[in-house]
A and B are shown apart, each in its own frame.
Chain A
Amino acid sequence: MLRRVLIASSGVAVLLAAWQLAAAAAAPSLLPGPLPVVRAVGELAVKGLLLRYVVASLFRVTWGYSMALVTAVPIGIALGLSTWAERAFNPFIQLLRPISPLGWIPIAILWFGVGDLSAIFLIFLASFLPLAVASMHAVHNLDETNLRAGRNFGLGRLALVRRVILPAAMPQLLVAMRITLGIAWLVVVAAEMIAVNSGLGFLIVDARNAGNRYDLVIAGMLMIGLIGLLLDSGVRRLERIEMRRRGYGA
């Protein structure tokens, strides 16, 4: 453990040093060094903007993502269980899938105007399809034996979903949830650059537009990376608990 921390922190130290060297060598207007960026984070924190923007971004992700989660998983499972429903809807899903969520921005603004609702809508869209498709595949990959055993003990459709299908699919679902949360976080930043006036994505474009404050830009980028990392490791922890209990690795 200690060893791992040491190795990781020396990696960070090397990168910081390289950054500092590069900043010193380049023109100051091209690349702010680590110190100005730390100062910029401090400035944002003091002004109260840091907390406000982080909360704004997380708020949008939370709503968009959880609405997608509670709709996409049941719908995906239903599609996976019903051959005809899948035949009917799968082409539509496959057609929508390659469209980047950002391609929806004009429509989002048309329908919901500039504001939270637009951003939430975009995150919902970005999360819905991958979650639905993953749930559908998870059902396809279920062990038929588990399903039969569940039915044998007299479970009806709903009980079967709750007591057999969901838990059996859980490892796969958790992986999809983690990847999708990453996508949602990417999308919120992009959406905020266009469709709203707050949040970390807005911070980045605003800092550039309002006086080329690239120290603030990089500060914003760092925060985005950091929070993305925290979100990822949160779901990864759930995943690990689930995997460990089933005896897959550590």
Chain B
Amino acid sequence: MPAAAGVKVSIRGLSMRFPAEAGTVDVLQDLDLDVREGELVCILGPSGCGKSTLLNIVGGFVRPTAGTVTIDGVRVTEPDRRRIFVFQERGVFPWLTVEGNIAFGLHHLPDGERRQRVEHYVALVGLGGFERTYPHALSGGMKQRLEVARALAVNPDVLYLDEPFGALDSITRLQMRGELLRIWQAERKTILFVTHDIDESVQLADRIVIMSARPSTIQRIVEVDLEHPRDLSSRGYIEVRDRIFEEIGLAHKV
């Protein structure tokens, strides 16, 4: 990552407290984080620690109890079409075809341009031949790619991905990571990627934000200084992975 690149997303003093059966539950506690323009940051943490909550706040869907999120210096208070949230494949609209889904955010464009964009993104995510298909007839991985295509089609500068590949089988998951990296390198989006899969984070991220258990804070940020494509059996890769295992306090053997 070029050190000169500016800060895109800036999180300051972020806390989130939910009402619970007995009083309240503190989920996030005083988080600070800067994400640089064009950076791919993975947020890694145990289940229930508040990763989705964090991403939803950054996406403008949920208001934090305290603290602020600013993007390009402007405070986030609601969702914005320049920053698209990709939901774990459930976000595709079942009443629209592949084409209709990708065109969803392009209504303001003239017909010709819209068609061109749809075509481009259909091809980019490898859904050629399925333009008129409804989501129910697509596989999980295809739905996921469709949702990514729909997001990319409006040319956002930030993408939020909440465990986007969690429901896929391990082979498809690997392929999807490869595709995401390819797209990221081609379009240079800023990406916040939530996962609880250590390998996934080491394969993708420029930096890995490790969150503690609830009430969560940022426990550590690990820089991943490896060129893409990453060799999963290289010394460097394994070192980073080991550091994360150690940081989380997991033994290495099963």
Write the nearest CB–CB distance from A179 to chain B, whole angstroms.
21
Q: B130: CB under 8 A from chain A?
A: no
Q: Tell me which of A145, A153, A163, A167 contacts B81 (CB under 8 A).
A: A153
Give the nearest-CB partner of A245 in chain B: B134
Query: CB-CB < 8 A to B238: which residues of A?
Result: none
Contact check, B85 vs A167: say whether CB atoms are below 8 A apart. Answer: no
A148 B85 Cβ-Cβ under 8 A:
yes
Classify chain A's interface size: 10 to 19
Query: What residues of chain A have their CB less than 8 Å away from a CB belonging to chain B?
Result: 143, 145-146, 148-149, 151-154, 163-164, 167-168, 170, 245-248
Tell me, rounded to whole Å, the shortest Cβ–Cβ distance linking A147 to chain B: 10
Q: What would be 21 A-B contacts, judged by CB atoms less than 8 Å apart?
A: A145-B87, A145-B90, A145-B91, A148-B79, A148-B85, A149-B85, A149-B91, A151-B78, A152-B61, A152-B79, A153-B84, A153-B104, A154-B80, A163-B104, A164-B93, A167-B95, A170-B95, A245-B95, A246-B134, A247-B136, A248-B136
From A154, A168, A246, residue with most partner B Cβ within 10 Å: A154
Q: Across the interface, do A152 and B104 meet the contact criterion of CB distance under 8 Å?
A: no
Find the residue from B81, B94, B136 having the highest chain A CB count within 10 A: B94
The 5 A-B residue pairs with the shortest CB-CB distance, nearest first, are A247-B136, A154-B81, A153-B105, A167-B95, A152-B79
CA separation between A161 and B2, bound complex, in Å?
Answer: 44
* Majority secondary structure, A binding face: helix
B78-106: which residues lie under 8 A (CB-CB) from chain A? 78-81, 83-85, 87, 90-91, 93-96, 104-105
Residues of B contacting A247 with CB < 8 Å? Answer: 94, 134-137
Please determine whether B93 and A149 come into contact, CB atoms closer than 8 angstroms.
yes
Does B154 touch A at the CB level, under 8 Å?
yes
Question: Residue on B with the closest CB to A146?
Answer: B93
Is B59 an interface residue, CB under 8 A from the partner?
yes
Most buried by B among A145, A149, A247: A149
